[in-house]
Amino acid sequence: MSKVAVVTGANKGIGFAIVKSLAKQYPGTVYLTARNEELGLKAVRELESQGLKVSFHQLDIENLESINRFAKYIKEKHQGLDLLVNNAAIAYKVSDPAPFSEQAKNTIRTNFTATLHLCDALFPLLRPHARVVNVSSRGGMLNIVKDAEFRNKFIKEDLTVKELTSLLDEFVELSRLGKNEHICKSAYGMSKVGLTALTRIQQREFDRDERKDIIVNAACPGFVATDMSSHRGQLTPDQGAETPVYLSLLPEKWTGPKGLLWAEKNVVDWTDLSWTWK
10 vs 129, which CB is nearer to ligand NAP?
10
Nearer to ligand NAP, 199 or 226 (CB): 226
Name every residue whose Cβ is closer than 8 Å to that of residue 51 and which is 6 or more positions away in sequence: none
User: Residue 192: what residue type?
Assistant: K
Q: Which one of the listed residues 73, 92, 188, 246 is annotated catalytic?
A: 188
Which spans in 79-160 are helix H? 100-108, 115-122, 148-154
Q: Give the residue with the Cβ less far from ligand NAP, 34 or 129.
A: 34
- Give the interface with ligand NAP as residue ranges (CB under 6 A): 8-9, 11-15, 34-36, 39, 60-62, 87-90, 110, 114, 135, 137, 220-221, 223-224, 226-229, 233
Nearer to ligand NAP, 90 or 201 (CB): 90
Helical H segments across the chain, by residue range: 13-25, 37-49, 64-78, 100-108, 115-122, 148-154, 161-176, 187-207, 237-240, 242-248
Shortest CB 28 distance to ligand NAP, Å: 22
Q: Which residue number, 141 or 145, has a Cβ lying nearer to ligand NAP?
A: 141
Nearest distance in Å: CB 220, ligand NAP: 6
Nearest to 106 by CA among 195, 167, 15, 191: 191
Q: H or E stretch including 137?
A: none
- To the nearest whole angstrom, how small is the minimum distance from the Cβ of residue 188 to ligand NAP? 7
**Closest by alpha carbon to 232, among 93, 98, 96?**
93
Q: Considering the complex, what minimum distance in angstroms separates the CB of residue 157 from ligand NAP?
A: 26
Helix (H, G, I), strand (E, B) or coil at 248: helix
Could you tell me the smallest distance in angstroms from the CB atom of residue 131 to ligand NAP?
Answer: 17
31 part of the active site: no
Q: Which residue lies nearest ligand NAP, judged by its C-beta?
A: 13
Q: Burial-class residue 96 by CB neighbours within 10 Å (0-12, 13-18, 19+).
A: exposed
Return the active site residues: 188
